[in-house]
Chain A
Amino acid sequence: MSQVKTTINRRSFLKASALAGGGLMLSFSWLAGCKPKDEELLSMPEKWFEFNSYIKIGNNGVVTLMSPNPEFGSNVKTSMPMILADELDIDWKNVIVQQADFYPERYDRQFTGGSQGIRQGWKPLRTAGATARQMLIDASAKQWNVPAKEITTEAGMLYHKGSGKKAGYGEMASLAATVPVPAEVTTKDVGDFKIIGTSKRNVEGKNIVTGKPLFGMDYKEDGMLIAMIVHPPFGMMIKSLDASSVKSMPGIKDAFTIKTLTADYERNGFDTTSFLELGVIVGNTTWEVMNAKKALKVEFELMPEYTMTMQQWGRGKVTAIMPKGLESTEGHRAEMEKASKAKGDILRKDGNPETAFKNAAKVLERTYTAPHLAHNTMEPANCFANVTADKAEIYGPIQAPGFITDTLAARLKLPKEKIHIKLARMGGGFGIRAYGHHLVEAAVISQTIKAPVKLVYTREDDMTYGIYRPAYTATYRAALDKDNNLIAFHVKGGGIPEHPIHANRFPAGAVDNYLAEGWAIPSNITIGAFRAPRSNFNAAAEQSFLDELAELAGKDPIDFRLELLERARTNPVGKDNDYDPDRYAGVLKLVREKSNWSQPPANVSRGVAAYFCHNTYVAQVVDLKLNGNSPVIENVIAAVDCGIVVNPDAAKNMGEGGIIDGIGNALFGELTFKDGVPEKNNFHQYKMIRQKESPRKVEVHFVKNEEEPTGLGEPLFPPVFAAVANALYKATGRRFYDQPFAKHIEMSPSRM
């Protein structure tokens, strides 16, 4: 047991003015199972008692748990309330989960991204649960006139053994909600968890399989109009928009342009707005507006270079330049090739790499590239907004509502407290929904037309709007001595418009002589976070390079990595190494065991990779075959150390998704540009992984320990790129340096 000060979330104990009642979207956890038996049916209580922002207890013992973070498919709407429920000590079947609105005064951190939901929610959620439990105990002690420390709880019941007294939480809730909030509470020992560590089904499962309205796209309100946007190619802006070209079309109300940001606005890191002005069409129904969008006459002209002031994470205020011109992938590639041969900014240097390379017995140098990627969430961007003279109501898919409220306030000229954002379930996020441009656009349109409106992007709008995973290039160089020890390692990486390098990651710390350099080329094609930003390239490149290096050194690729990790553990080089060598080695050892590494199944080609990012350690083995030139992934075996696993089956699901998404992007993912225009705008051109290319089997194994939990949305994604490349090498005899790999396989003779 540990004592936790409750003051850390004191602000979350503000009493709400309105308690849960009619008209709210409720998720009953038992709905996720089969049809409940009558005795299991929850009846709604007559009265609710609020203990804190997260917890309400009904007079009949039913408990409402608020899920603070936006849900985009990582299942936080189930797993975060599980943490509350365990510390509160209730029966999961008596739980109703409700999505919290964005409400920073009441919740600690409402941001879904960076695989941080569970990691950063762990303490506040446990504290909130344990605090409400303690208040129930204190109330019972008062009512029964017994010492609080003699009272125990189990599954929503309070017991005093000495007197034989007992009560349900519901019976005690009225009194308990009024007792003082304790200054300190006791949380459970890991071994005492009853809900954490058991698999609970998605609380929205039943609503999903029956097609209930859960998404922003599904929202409807009386008097609501539909809006769509028209945007220019990158490097251009709107010259003119002829509203008369569509105004007489059926159902069309108006067409006009909107400014997305005010000129003097200082942007934050998630204010990426690809276009400063957009064309807008408003009408009655989606199909009518879609037709008008095709008919709308808009002219574009070249955009001059412009500068913008931005607050960037870790860098403070920076002035960024948006260059002029119509960019193409061909030009990008030439610029990157040139930049990769020049010196970059030194990001970390240990020892004397120059001398070590001169004295090397063997040197390996390889260059890796990866293209821009579009996120392609299944639900295109959309948002409902109703902006009136004194307030804004917004409902839409957003991972980071806290970052867009300042933008909304500045653009709408409304005080922040008058902007109310409700969090829709997102039809995927993968990073792009951290950027709330669509919320601002919907709000500005509503303010302009003085009516509630739902902004809907077509697939083409969504794919061509920008905020892509950047294109990257990195050159890796390594020196081996005559005994095949790694004596120097050099990475120089860059991209459009940012470099991908994490300078303090492995193998930094494991090599005496180390150099990391970065370079960047400005671009007017906007980029943003994409599932495991930067790591999704680094892991692919670095872990392919280490595979080739191990081969050059004549070592088994797992043994080679373990040797380096042993060096980092016993005698680390430099400071600020950002990984724990023991846990890193742990996942490699587990995947070696689970994959039966030394004895692969007959007729498969096997590759391994490992990576640490977003606080979680992952190692993966890919077994594949070639069917002609098409890779068939027979099995992926993953070993993961994310500390305590809150919801094991859901965690496996997340891992399977990350792995298959990684395989898809490694083999097929690519967005190219010609004169500022993306060359793909829908799924007939943009190849996504489908059922046929999916692995036959995926195994996700977790290291068992009592470390505090870390996230899973991102960490399984990056290493599988390299595990696929390394397996493809075994299958074809060729190394794969340039993503996406599938088109290169088609040029190579098959060895199978």
Chain B
Amino acid sequence: MATINLKVNGKNLAVDVDPKTPVLWVLRDHLDLVGTKFGCGMAQCGACTIHVDGNAVRSCILPVSQIENKEVVTIEGLSEDGDHPVQKAWLEHDVAQCGYCQAGQIMSAVALLKSNPSPSDEDIENAMNGNICRCATYVRIKAAIKTAANS
């Protein structure tokens, strides 16, 4: 066990955990931030996507020791009131079915638009290919990203 200093959604926090603990489980079990989801545990499905210093990363395989003193943003910290343009686009297109993967999808989409504000279809397909949606809402995800890009 070790004390790890974190900055999550703008707040400075300290947790006392095994430094090898994946960020996903620190968020979910220790910080009660359960919007970031467990899907596969091996960076294959994207449900656990968060931002570390603005980049989309898979939190299920990222040891918590590696994010000390870095800016972490989770779905809960994306906006004050769910009014980030990508969240709004998701609502406008009523994308979700079961909803379990959508936090990860949104985090990947936000990172894409940050680096590429007007992505082509191919750019979207490449950037979002790591996020599985078992309900297969892919057509709406793509449409919502385009709407967000235009807003």
Q: Residues on A close to B: CB < 8 A?
A: 32-35, 72-75, 199, 201-202, 204-206, 208-215, 217-218, 220, 226, 250, 285-288, 290, 376-380, 425-430, 456, 458-459, 649-650, 653-654, 656-661, 664, 682-684, 688-692, 694-698
Docked pose: A656 CA to B140 CA in angstroms: 9
| Residue among A205, A208, A425, A698 with max Cβ neighbours from chain B (10 Å) | A208
Report B7-40 residues with CB < 8 Å from chain A CB: 17-18, 21-22, 25, 28-30, 32-40
Docked pose: A376 CA to B1 CA in angstroms: 34
Task: Report chain B residues within 8 Å CB of A664.
Answer: 136
Q: Judging by beta carbons under 8 Å apart, are A204 and B139 in contact?
A: no
Task: Report chain A residues within 8 Å CB of B33.
Answer: 211
The 3 closest A-B pairs by CB, nearest first: A211-B35, A427-B100, A73-B98
Docked pose: A428 CA to B132 CA in angstroms: 12
Instruction: Say yes or no: is B126 at the interface (Cβ < 8 Å to chain A).
Output: yes
Task: Report chain B residues within 8 Å CB of A696.
Answer: 121
Partner of B137, one of A217, A288, A425, A653: A653
Docked pose: A427 CA to B95 CA in angstroms: 14
Q: Judging by beta carbons under 8 Å apart, are B76 and A378 in contact?
A: no
Q: Judging by beta carbons under 8 Å apart, are A378 and B97 in contact?
A: no
**5 A-B pairs with C-beta separation under 8 A:** A379-B37, A428-B98, A428-B135, A658-B136, A696-B121
Q: A201-B91, A690-B132, A694-B139 are in contact. Are A208 and B42 (CB under 8 A)?
A: no
Task: Report chain A residues within 8 Å CB of B97.
Answer: 73-75, 653-654, 657
Q: Judging by beta carbons under 8 Å apart, are B102 and A209 in contact?
A: yes
Q: Judging by beta carbons under 8 Å apart, are A682 and B42 in contact?
A: yes
Question: Whose C-beta in chain A lies nearest to the C-beta of B81?
Answer: A35
Total number of A-B contacts with CB less than 8 angstroms? 197
Q: Judging by beta carbons under 8 Å apart, are B96 and A205 in contact?
A: yes
Task: Report chain B residues within 8 Å CB of A290.
Answer: 41
Task: Report chain B residues within 8 Å CB of A690.
Answer: 128-132, 138
Instruction: Say yes or no: is B56 at the interface (Cβ < 8 Å to chain A).
Output: no
Report B71-103 residues with CB < 8 Å from chain A CB: 74-76, 78-79, 81-83, 87-88, 90-91, 94-103
Docked pose: A425 CA to B90 CA in angstroms: 19
Q: Judging by beta carbons under 8 Å apart, are B132 and A683 in contact?
A: yes
Q: Judging by beta carbons under 8 Å apart, are B129 and A211 in contact?
A: no
Task: Report chain A residues within 8 Å CB of B106.
Answer: 209
Partner of B32, one of A220, A682, A691: A220
Q: A217-B38, A286-B25, A656-B140 are in contact. Are A204 and B94 (CB under 8 A)?
A: no
In whole Å, how far is A33's beta carbon from the nearest beta carbon of chain B?
A: 7
Partner of A459, one of B41, B75, B87: B41
Q: Judging by beta carbons under 8 Å apart, are B45 and A211 in contact?
A: no
Q: Judging by beta carbons under 8 Å apart, are A656 and B103 in contact?
A: no
Task: Report chain B residues within 8 Å CB of A204.
Answer: 96, 99
Task: Report chain A residues within 8 Å CB of B18.
Answer: 250, 287-288
Docked pose: A287 CA to B99 CA in angstroms: 24
Docked pose: A688 CA to B45 CA in angstroms: 9
Instruction: Say yes or no: is B44 at the interface (Cβ < 8 Å to chain A).
Output: yes
Q: Judging by beta carbons under 8 Å apart, are A425 and B138 in contact?
A: no
Q: Judging by beta carbons under 8 Å apart, are A425 and B44 in contact?
A: no
Q: Judging by beta carbons under 8 Å apart, are A692 and B125 in contact?
A: yes
Instruction: Say yes or no: is B149 at the interface (Cβ < 8 Å to chain A).
Output: no
Q: Judging by beta carbons under 8 Å apart, are A209 and B139 in contact?
A: no
Docked pose: A378 CA to B83 CA in angstroms: 25
Task: Report chain A residues within 8 Å CB of B78.
Answer: 210
Task: Report chain A residues within 8 Å CB of B74.
Answer: 211
Q: Judging by beta carbons under 8 Å apart, are A682 and B139 in contact?
A: no
Q: A217-B37, A656-B140, A698-B139 are in contact. Are A691 and B125 (CB under 8 A)?
A: yes
Task: Report chain B residues within 8 Å CB of A656.
Answer: 136-137, 139-140
Task: Report chain A residues within 8 Å CB of B40.
Answer: 459, 682-683
Q: Judging by beta carbons under 8 Å apart, are A688 and B137 in contact?
A: no
Question: Whose C-beta in chain A lies nearest to the C-beta of B96?
Answer: A208
Partner of B37, one of A32, A378, A650: A378
Partner of B98, one of A286, A427, A459, A692: A427
Instruction: Say yes or no: is B133 at the interface (Cβ < 8 Å to chain A).
Output: yes
Q: Judging by beta carbons under 8 Å apart, are B138 and A660 in contact?
A: yes
| Residue among B33, B36, B39, B87 with max Cβ neighbours from chain A (10 Å) | B39
In whole Å, how far is B55's beta carbon from the nearest beta carbon of chain A?
A: 19
Q: Judging by beta carbons under 8 Å apart, are B99 and A682 in contact?
A: no
Q: A287-B29, A656-B140 are in contact. Are A684 and B102 (CB under 8 A)?
A: no
Task: Report chain B residues within 8 Å CB of A379.
Answer: 37, 39, 98, 100
Q: Judging by beta carbons under 8 Å apart, are A691 and B76 in contact?
A: no
Task: Report chain B residues within 8 Å CB of A377.
Answer: 98, 100, 134
